[in-house]
Every structure is written in C-alpha cells, then in structure tokens.
Amino acid sequence: MHNARRQAENSTPLFLLGGLGWVFSLLGVVAGTGQALAAVTESDFLEVLPIVLSASRLSQPVNEAPAAVTVIDQDMIRASGFRDIPDLFRLVPGFTVAYTRDNTWGVGYHGLGDAFSRRMQVLIDGRSVYTPGFGEVPWASLPLSIEDIERIEVVRGPNSAVYGSNAFLGIINIITKDPAQVSGGHLSVQAGERGMGGAQFRYGNTRDDLRYRLSVSDQRRDRFATQSEQTTTRHLDFRADYRLSATDEITTTFALSGGDWRHGRTQDIGDSIRRSDVGSEHFQTRFRRVMDAENEWSLQFYHTRLRNNDSFVAPLPSPPFPAASGVPVDLDYTQWRDNIEFQMITRPTETMRLVWGAEVRREGIKAPGFFYNQDARTGMLYRGFGNVEWRPSSRWIWHAGAMAEQHYLSGFDLSPRLAVNYLPSNDHAFRASVSRASRSPTFFEEQGDQRFFDTNGLPLDRVFAPTSGLHPEQIYSRELGYVGQIRPLKLQVDFRLFNDRITRLIGTSDIGDDPGSLNPKLFQAANQNSADIRGVEVQFRWKPQDGFDLVATYSRVNIRSDEVDIAESAPRNNFSALGMLKLAGGWGASVGVYRQDAMVWLGDGDVTLAFTRVDARLVKRWKWQGNPVELALVGQNLSSRPYQEFRNDNLFDRRAYLSLMFDW
C-alpha cells in the first residue's frame, strides 16, 4: 500500500494531465466526425455563479457562502451517463464511491468511508434519509428517479451548525424538480449489459393554483460478473404544490418503493445466495408563508419508514453440529422517523440576514436479530438553531451560527461555526472558517446485541454486545477557500485548503474470547481512535466556447492516525473530469474520467488498488411529431481492465447500455 502511494505521489503531474488528455482526445474524435460548433456569444462566458441553499439555509451565491459547495446540475447528471445516484458523487472533489454488496453503497469524503455512508447527512428536499438504527444511507431503496433531480448541493466540510449531528464530514442535499418544470408526459427506458435495465414514466400538470407530478419507475441491476447481485426496485413518487394565497403555499410529497433483491454471501455465517424484500415510504408536507422578499417562515412535517425482510437459514457443517440443520439468521428490521421543524428567515437590519428555528424528532428501530430479546428502540431528539449573515461593508461578509441539540443517546451538544468572506471584486472571493461538528452514536453502536442459535434453540455465537456511555464523534475543522471567475480564461474556480482534527471515532473492539462459539471474538463499539486530515481540493468549470463545457476536480488528502486502516482510508490523489460537447444537428457527446489512488474501505471492505475509469456518452436529439426524443449510447469503464470496488472480488468491468427518452 505505501509503495503504491509513493508511486502515485511521484506521478501527480502525469496523473492530472493524463486524465484531461482522455477528455480532450475522445471529445476531439467525436467533434472531428460531427458538424461545426455553434457560434460563440459573450453571454456564454458571463454566467452567474450558482445560488445555493444548503450551506446556511439562506439563499446565496457560492462565493458568499460560509462553506465550500459543489453543485451537480442537470447537464452534469445527464452527461455523466450514471443511473445510480451515488455514482454522481464521483464528480465532487474528495469523494470516493463504491458499490459494496447486498445493494449497499459506500460514499466517503476525505476518508473514513464504509458501507454505510454514516458520516454524512443526506437530505432530499430537506428530509433526512440518514437512518437511526445503523447510521446508513439506503441509497438503493430511495424512492427517487435520477430524472426527477433538479440539482444536488454538496457542502464539502462539517455543517452541524446548520443541520445538527451527523452533518459530520459534509451535507448532500438532493433537490427535486418543481412540478412546473416537468409539465406533460415523460418516458425513459434503458437496456444494457450486466443485467442493466430500467423504465420511468412521469406526468406533470398545472391547473390554476395546483401543480403536481407523478413518477413511477422500475430499475434492474446485476452489478458484477463475479457475484449474483440481481435486483429489481420499483417506486412511486407523487408531489403536489398548492398556492393558497399570494403569500402562502403548501407542498406535499408521498412516495413508496419496493425491491426484490437477490444478493450474495452472508457476512457472519454460511455462504449462500438469498433474496430479500425491501421497501421504504415517506410522507412530507411543508407550509410556507412569504411576507416579502426578505421575510418568510415555514413549518414542515415528515414521516419516513424503511423496512428490510431478510431472514434465512444458513447451513452448518455436520461435524461438529450433527443435530442441527442450520442457523436461523434474522436480518429483518424496520426503521422510522417522525419530524417537525419550524424555520424563520428575516432581515432585522439592512446589513443583516437571520435564519433560526427548532426541530423535534422521534425515531426508532425494531430489529430482533440485532437487539437480542429487546423491543423496539426509540428516542426523542430536540434541536434549536440560528445562523446570521452580516455585511458591514460591500467587501466583507461575516457568518456565525450554532446548533444546540439534545440527543437521546449522547445528551447535549453544541455545534458552532464562524466564517468570513472577503470579496475584493465581484469576480473573486476569499473565505476563512472554523467549525465544530459531531456524529451521535447509532442505536446499534450503543445497544446492539447480536446472537445466533441453531435450529434446536441452542446458542452458537454472540458477535456483538451492547455498551453504554458512548460519546459522539467530534471534528474541529479549519479551512481557507477561494471562489472566483477568471473571465479572460472563461473559467470558474473553487479552491479549498482544509485541516480537520477528529476525535472519539467510534469503532469496534474485541472484548472477549469464547472458544465454544463459531466465532471466538465478541465485539463492542467504543470511542477508540482519532485522526488528523489535511489537504487541498480544487474544482473548476471551463467554457472556452459555446457548446463545450468541462468540469474537473482534484483533491490531495493526507490522514494521520494511529490506526493504519484509518490512515489509508482516503486515496492520496483523486481526480475527475467531465467534458460535455454539443454539436449541430442534435448530436452531442460527453466523456468522464475518474482516477484515484489506492485506499482502504473501513468495516468489511478491502484495500482497493488505484484505477482509472473512462466513461463516454453519445447522444442524438430530434423531434417526432413535434415532441422531443433523445437516444443515447453509454459506455462505462472503457479504458482499462476491471477495477476493484470496495472488495477485491467486486470487479467492475467494461459495459454499455442504450437509453431512449420521449417527452410530450
């Protein structure tokens, strides 16, 4: 591992130039066979920087935000050719993404990544999908089609001052399309290699003060040739926005998803292919009153529920267990959350904006196989927050905020942040910030008790024991940043230096040795590690001429920790580039290059070697009877041999699929 890292460090310039070379050469081939680019206009180079909401709950351009934010827009989503939401985060500097198994995804930022994405808060339209039982993000069962995403805002860095515990390393805020944006019908179908297939139907309409959209989807996957991971996931999603008056509006969403998942080996006992039945649901309603452009308040309620039915009998070898036919394994669970939140945005003075609010949450899990002989685990969470933006002059912006939280497992916690932005001109902004954030322990980390018995009821193994008094993980973060537009080069740049000190990391300790068990080790969660994470990341967007758009990111991360796996849990160098080309006659093409050094995935992950992945997309658009039609061919991992994802035997090989979309 260390030799691989040293070689990667010595080749960093080639690492960057090689990735950009792939983009330019492949797009050049396509452009050479197509028609000329359209005429260039100056307005194409003077685009306004993106407006974001997730950094402070206040609407602000990215150069005025108190944190670094990456925006993944619709053009990037389409051009990437990705069909699974986690893959999109390959376009964000410092992120690592891998499919693990059993329909779970690992998404990490600056290391510490595992199969649960447990150190990032993920929101969909302000609704948290971070689960209370295991701290996972259920990417594969989210009732959301990738076509219904308006944009994704990724706050790169701790943001507990705004969204509370678990906004630890960053925030992913997925914002869906307003029904007014998708009026009419939409049908898309995909078919390709490795069992890839899918279809989505959506209809939206506006009638007087009511806007609504309905989406239904069916997605099928078989991720790797070396394993059976065949899945079918279906969902229904409905959203309605109703304007009650000139100032008042109510938005309601309801969604259901269900999956039939066939997946590989059991983690602890036996080795079998099994099927599980999964599903999720949510109901969300939000009332919003806008008194004027500077003052508004909202009240939001949502309910979420996630279930997994995955029980089976694992075989046992005849000796030394001749009397038992197997081990009943119960991996069933149901997790839920009920949440109500009030938020107020106001401008108390000409130079100040303020957002404040409160939140009450009840959440729980019922999982007998993970909490031996216990009923459902539940808890109440209470939060109060406030963030202020103060402009003492046209060049300076000060941000201060904090979240006070009373958590059912970890008690009281306060997460503050202070940031300052200096804008020497409209095109350039410098930022400095300091913040503290936390991640509360999950129900399983604190109270998990996992045991196994044979079919005769005799105890065989105990693999996890409860603990008490776990402290929340804490991070103290400092950063310097620059956001700017270099107009002569038609370039937008985002640069960030970061220094994070993480303490009280929750891991598992071996606390016993039982020779009579199948597995002689007994594990328990504990605050046992710390880490110092330092580095640099940069992203830029370059539009040298009309019809050509290049988005590129690079990060360099160094982790110091006494725990070797933690120190190696981030690739030293991580690079991505997505080039998008629009040609006359409805033709278009895009090329994505994703390169990262070797790293270690935590938990039950492996050391994964460095890889370079190249994807390409060729698209033709036309109209049939006045309605838009789009046909696309997507090739993935075109550049090299299969590469490892999360585990050594998870090999992602070359593959392709076709996509057809029709709107009316």
d(CA 104, CA 118): 12
Residue of 84, 123, 87, 105 lying closest to 304 (CA atoms): 123
Domain ranges (residues) in the chain: 2-309+328-663
d(CA 214, CA 534): 45
CB atoms within 10 A of CB 290: 15
State the pLDDT at residue 263.
66
Residue of 99, 91, 81, 49 lying closest to 428 (CA atoms): 49
- 47 pLDDT higher than 60: no
Q: What mean pLDDT do residues 157-171 have?
A: 94
- Residue 363 vs residues 132, 152, 467, 626, 654: alpha-carbon distances, Å: 7, 26, 20, 50, 42
Q: What mean pLDDT do residues 264-290 have?
A: 77
Estimate to the nearest angstrom the gap between the alpha carbon of 296 and the chain centroid: 29
State the pLDDT at residue 434.
98
Tokens 């969660």 belong to 525
Q: What mean pLDDT do residues 638-643 have?
A: 86
Share of the chain above pLDDT 90, in %: 73
472-485 burial code (b ≥16 CB/10 A, e <16): bbbbebebebbbbb
Place 478 in a pLDDT band, splitting at 50, 70 and 90: very high
State the pLDDT at residue 423.
98
- 309 pLDDT higher than 70: yes
DSSP 8-state code for residue 371: B
- 424 pLDDT higher than 70: yes
Share of the chain above pLDDT 70, in %: 88
State the pLDDT at residue 22.
53
Place 23 in a pLDDT band, splitting at 50, 70 and 90: low
Place 41 in a pLDDT band, splitting at 50, 70 and 90: very low
| Predicted TM-score of the model (pTM) | 0.91
- Which helix (H) or strand (E) element contains residue 557? strand 548-560
- 456 pLDDT higher than 50: yes
Q: Does 376 or 37 have the greater pLDDT score? A: 376
State the pLDDT at residue 100.
86
DSSP 8-state code for residue 48: P
CB atoms within 10 A of CB 331: 18
Q: Which of 21-25, 224-228, 235-239, 378-382 has the lowest mean pLDDT?
A: 21-25
Retrieve residue 121's tokens: 């808060």
Which pairing describes strands 627-636 and 170-176: parallel, antiparallel, or unpaired?
Answer: unpaired
Q: What mean pLDDT do residues 179-202 have?
A: 94
Place 326 in a pLDDT band, splitting at 50, 70 and 90: confident
Whether CATH 2.40.170.20 fits 2-309+328-663: yes
- Which helix (H) or strand (E) element contains residue 445? helix 443-447
- pLDDT tens digits for 529-583? 999 999 999 999 999 999 999 999 999 999 999 999 999 999 999 999 999 999 9
State the pLDDT at residue 572.
97
- 7 pLDDT higher than 90: no
- Would you state the torsion angle of the CA atoms of residues 131, 135, 141, 147, taken in this order, to the nearest 10 degrees? 90
257-288 burial code (b ≥16 CB/10 A, e <16): bbbebebbbbeebbeeebebebbbbbbbebeb
State the pLDDT at residue 268.
44
Place 312 in a pLDDT band, splitting at 50, 70 and 90: confident
- pLDDT tens digits for 425-452? 999 999 999 999 999 999 999 999 999 8
Q: What mean pLDDT do residues 470-478 have?
A: 96
State the pLDDT at residue 131.
93
- 230 pLDDT higher than 60: yes
Retrieve residue 254's tokens: 């309801």
Q: HSE on the CB side for 117, CA within 13 Å?
A: 27
- Which helix (H) or strand (E) element contains residue 447? helix 443-447
Q: Which of 299-303, 314-318, 441-445, 616-620 has the lowest mean pLDDT?
A: 314-318
- 293 pLDDT higher than 90: no
Q: Considering the chain, what is the average pLDDT of its residues?
A: 89
Beta bridge partners of 661: 188, 630
Maximum C-alpha span of the chain: 81
